[in-house]
Structure 1
Amino acid sequence: MREIKFRMWDAENEQMIDGDSLAFEEYAPISHLLSQEGIMQYTGLKDKNGKEIYEGDILYDAVKSIESYSEVKWELEMGRFEAWGRNLWVRSSRTEVIGNIWEHPHLLEGRDEA
């Protein structure tokens, strides 16, 4: 069974919040933290370096001389996580997490999406 974990992009403070729990100050407004758009679920997979792969991560993969950059997304109709980009088949054993869509959107600029 895969581990259920999340991380969250805090847009107000422009930082990623990792971990299995969050501590809130009494009476502190937290609505900016609860944007569903910024919540990313762990896929249960790790990249070639052992780094956990989350929804919203940007993956790099190279097969022979073909480089591929893709974004990890949840595919509701298929009930699975998919890597959206030029490469239609991504293996976590040769793929590397190089960033995420919140902190490194420039890594996907000008790239074709499948």
Structure 2
Amino acid sequence: MADLVLKLADSVKSTVGVHTAYGEAVTLDDVTVIPVAVAWFGFGAGEGPQEPDVGSGGGGGGASLPIGAYIKDKTGVRFEPNPIALLAVAIPFVWVATRGIALVFKALRRRRRR
């Protein structure tokens, strides 16, 4: 099992983490669209003691988030963001940021009362 994990790690050394992925360019009526996504993946494996009733396992997964597309037309090249992906990232970010700011103000108010 350890050999499998080492082989997997060696095969993905250069691609660990989050990377930008570009899709195949599509051309229609002199307009070229190149989709852009952020992709990430991970995997793991485990091995227990060499006893008959103890098992081992492994797994992995990945995801990609389409963030937009590069559009090439007569006016030039521009990036068009995907509004759904922006909302998917912005809503949790704003919630966490406002929650954090509220906690900071609450701590400052407690400190002032002492």
Normalised TM-score (structure 1): 0.21
Whose helix fraction is larger, Structure 1's or Structure 2's? Answer: 2
Q: Which has the higher contact order (CA 8 A, sep 6+)?
A: 1
